[in-house]
Every structure is written in structure tokens, then in C-alpha cells.
Structure 1
């Protein structure tokens, strides 16, 4: 755990995949063909707390969806890359734009397009419902599944390692 905390201490940016991470990976469509994505409210609160602690958030997803754009807007996430299967190049672009080293970045993903990022960032994380090969290469696997609080769990892990979690909780314990 100490190596995990050492990695988490350095994090300045958390990059999240969407399908299978911020959602449970189920694709839902209306009879008119409109896509529906069920996001987890716990993840949203975790993202807000992590942002308030000074860590930036990015979303990098291989699919394009107006629901993802809306969720990013609702959470104040302005770093949004949709339709990007080449996530490693996206993360390198973000790192350059923000003047960050890859070891200052955490990424949570669940499938093959996430693998190069997970292998190259400071904290590569996956979810229990992720592909086995991703689990083999990630630094950590959350206990909660994608779409079921995994992002919140990671946000709190980073905040705990950086010493900001207790202060975030204290706001609600007044």
C-alpha cells in the first residue's frame, strides 16, 4: 500500500475512461436510437472533492456521446477528449498542455485502449469488471466496480495520500 500511496501523492491530474469506469459498461438505447448513460452520483461527488483539493480531471473516451459532454459540463470538467482510441497520445497532449510529467497523472480504465496509458502514467488503475490484461498491468484495482463508485474510491485514495480527504469530509461534519 505504501508504494500505492507514494504514487498517489504525486498526482496532479486524474484521467477517466467512461464506459465501464464512470458507467457500468452497459450501452442503453431508446427505440429512437438515442443513447442513455447511467452515471453514478458517488463518482460525481468524488470528482468534485478531488477538484476542490487542486487535482485536475480529464475524460478520455473512445466513443462520442452528448451524455458524456453533459456529464463533463455538470462536473466542471473542461478537459474532454471523445472519440479517442489513441488514449496514450491524448494523455501526452494533456500532459504537455498542463506542463505535467506522466508520473503526475493517474488514469482509470477498463479495456485495451486504456492499457498504454495505464502502463505509462504514475498511477494506472482499473476496476474489478475490467479486462484481465488490464488488471495484470495496473498499479491498483478498485474494490468497487465501474459505474458503482470506483471513481469515487480512487478520488478518495488520492486525497488520502495527499492529506486532503479529512478536510473535505470535515466540511460535511460541521
Structure 2
């Protein structure tokens, strides 16, 4: 892992999240009728809201399709949602093509092979301790928290701290 430079982090205007293994534990839970259930961590939700309050847009790119992800995305105000996309970098390029964002202004967090090309391409590529070792080898940074246990929040705060915005955001809660 190579530590990202402060300059790279200061230029981030788009933060992109994988879902399974990042915003959830990565376990797939199914009810008897076949309906999938996902469990999200509220710490991550507030982290995403803090990013947006700081002027950083957000995106979810996930390999699976899930109504729960769409509902969570809407509830948080996620700017861009791409579901059913194993081709994460292609999906990310679609976002870049329609916005002012690009690789040098994007941070991405993912945990497995489909995330790898996006992690490598972005200015800041992150993963989690329970991510695949090959992904960890190529990421710039690894959270201390596991996926589904606040890793997304840690990613958000790492960016906000580097940009000098975290303390001001915390003050809103005093």
C-alpha cells in the first residue's frame, strides 16, 4: 500500500462506495421467500452526509441489484447510483463522462476484484481489512474498521480530515 499524498486528498470532489463488503458486512441474507436483506451501518450514513455537507458528491457502484440499496441511496441523497455493475471502472467512467469529476478528483472504496480497476485508477483508492489481500496490495489506504462496521465512515472522515473540513463539521453538533 502506498500512502496517498495530502494534495491528492485535497482534490477529492467525488467519493464512490461499493456496497457488499463496504457499506455492509458482505454477507448475503435471504428470507424464505428469496427476498434479499441488507444491513447498513448508521455510522456510514452520517459519514456520507458529512461528505455532501462539505461539497463532496457521492456515488454507489455495486455489482448486485437491490431495492434496499436504492432506498438507502435515496434516503442519504447519494448523487449517483449504478447497480448491477461488475464493470466498476466502466460505470465510473460513465459518471465522469457526465460530470466535471475525473480520476484525479475521485476517491473509491471497495473490497474485491471487481473494484480493483477503479481503486487503481482513482486519486485515492481504499479498502477494508476484510478485503481481498490482492486488493489491499493495490489500494492506497486501508480502514481499521471492517466492512459493514463503520469502514465507510472512516473513509469519509479520512478525506474530510485531509481537506481540513472535519473539525468544522463536528462543531455543528456541539
Q: Which category of TM-score, normalised to the shorter sequence, fits these structures? A: over 0.9
Offset at residue 8 of structure 1 (A) = 1.4
Gapped runs of 5+ residues in structure 2? none
* CA offset digits 1:5-46 (Å, max 9, x no partner): 332111000000000000000111111111110000000000
Question: CA separation in 2, counterparts of 1:11 and 1:123?
Answer: 8
| Paired position in structure 2 for 1:97 | 98
Unaligned 5+ segments in structure 1 are none
TM-score (normalizing by structure 2): 0.96
- Partner residue of 1:122? 123
Moved more, 129-138 or 91-100: 91-100
Q: CA RMSD in A?
A: 1.2
CA distance in 2, matches of 1:65, 1:4: 35
Q: Which residue of the partner structure matches residue 158 of structure 1?
A: 159
- Structure 1 segments (4+ residues) deviating >3 Å: 1-4
Matches within 5 A, 1:2-151: 3-151=4-152
- Give the Cα separation in 2 of the matches to 1:29 and 1:3: 38
Given the two structures, how large is their TM-score scaled by the length of structure 1? 0.96
Please say if residues 106 and 124 of structure 1, whose CA atoms lie closer than 8 Å, have aligned partners that are also in contact.
yes
